[in-house]
Structure 1
Amino acid sequence: MSEATHAHLHHSSPDAAVEVALDALRARGERVTTARRAVLDVLARTHEHLSADQVVADLEKVAPDVHRATVYRTLEMLADLGVLSHLHSTGGATVYHFASSPEGHEHLHAQCRVCGAIIVIPADALAEASVRVSRATGFAIDGPQSTLMGVCAECIASERVRGA
């Protein structure tokens, strides 16, 4: 899936995405601070999956008074609340992304363990597996907070995974 298509799946209006996220914070009794709003704004303006360091670097340009430690705590809290999704990239850094998509644009993410590419997969891709896991173990998979790991089509077709 192209980056332009992936961007469309998330939000065409960054301001609206931030407001939805802030409403989710308020609904959970969380305060809406300048730092939280600034972190959300950085993430809403990209479809990329950003590390905390990338968010800090972006904020240094527009909100230099937001401390690095505040960014880390904010990202963790927003992920815990389900406002953001996160994954541990092949490079080791945790990267963050808005968890929600507009109605009809829901999707999940998979990551190639060879090249690190993030692949968009259909929202219902885990539906059957989720039911089976729940029946077998009582465990409920949180699909939007899950990232499947595997190997992308390009790496499978290339020499990178032959003989592995």
Structure 2
Amino acid sequence: MALDSTEGSLKERGVRLTRQRQILLELIDKTGEHLDAERLYQMAKEKDPKLNRVTVYRTLKMLKAGGLVDELDLMHYGGDQHYYETRLKQEHAHVICLRCGKVEEFFGEPLQRLRRQIESHFGFQVLLARTEVGGYCAHCQTLRAREVEDLRTLPAEADGAKSKRKAAAAKRSRPRRG
């Protein structure tokens, strides 16, 4: 996101681009991550130790209202946590791992094709589209497969342990020969 266009957008709304606002916008735009307000606060504080948490939350609210950032819930992965990204990005989908929370962005023709289909089918002019896809990343799929395999072997191991306990109990209950 070019800060020139951001500054222009803010000026149109009668808002100055302060150092604190600039820091937050740069963090949101340049980290390549989807950051929540608390993480943004921690990172911004490293750049400006005078910055306080209330200012960060107010600034995020103002940037959202001004159409410069989007507030995302990313399939509620973080509970009530919201994540922020610049609105000026190319249209994209979020692919979210429901186990570890990893977020990938997907850009491309399939999204544009979907937009055109919606516009054509419904006679609808799409101004904003937000697509989220939930599932399991490759790493978490591997972990889940191991867990499922472990669960499958549990009953067999438990049955084996039961059999050993029964055999020991039977041995103890046999009358002794004298």
Contact 1:113 1:149 in 2 (8 A): no
Write the letter of the residue equivalent to 1:57: Q
- The 3-state SS of whatever aligns with 1:24 is helix
**1:76 matched residue in structure 2:** 61
Q: Deviations over 1:74-99 (max 9, x none)?
A: 11222233322332241222111223
Of 78, 82, 100, the match for 1:94: 82
Contact 2:34 2:85 in 1 (8 A): yes
- Is 1:149 the equivalent of 2:137? no
Contact 2:45 2:52 in 1 (8 A): no
Q: Mapping of 1:18-29 within 5 angstroms?
A: 18-29=3-14
Q: Deviations over 1:22-67 (max 9, x none)?
A: 2222233333223212211332341111111111111222212222
**2:25 matched residue in structure 1:** 40
**2:152 matched residue in structure 1:** none
More helix by share: 2
Contact 1:22 1:37 in 2 (8 A): no
Write the letter of the residue equivalent to 2:135: V
Task: Please report how far the alpha carbon of residue 148 of structure 1 lies from its aligned counterpart in structure 2 after TM superposition.
Answer: 0.8
Counterpart CA distance in 2 for 1:38 and 1:150 is 31
- The 3-state SS of whatever aligns with 1:96 is strand
The alpha-carbon distance between structure 1 residues 31 and 119, as it changes in their structure 2 partners (threshold 3 A), is same
Larger radius of gyration: 2
Contact 1:113 1:151 in 2 (8 A): yes
Task: Please report how far the alpha carbon of residue 159 of structure 1 lies from its aligned counterpart in structure 2 after TM superposition.
Answer: 5.6
Of 138, 144, 162, the match for 1:160: 144
Task: Please report how far the alpha carbon of residue 72 of structure 1 lies from its aligned counterpart in structure 2 after TM superposition.
Answer: 0.9
- The 3-state SS of whatever aligns with 2:105 is strand
Q: Deviations over 1:107-134 (max 9, x none)?
A: 5131233332212212443334435545
The alpha-carbon distance between structure 1 residues 73 and 34, as it changes in their structure 2 partners (threshold 3 A), is same
**2:172 matched residue in structure 1:** none
State, as a whole percentage, how many aligned pairs show the same letter: 25
Of 48, 51, 70, the match for 1:63: 48
Q: Between Structure 1 and Structure 2, how many residues are aligned? A: 142
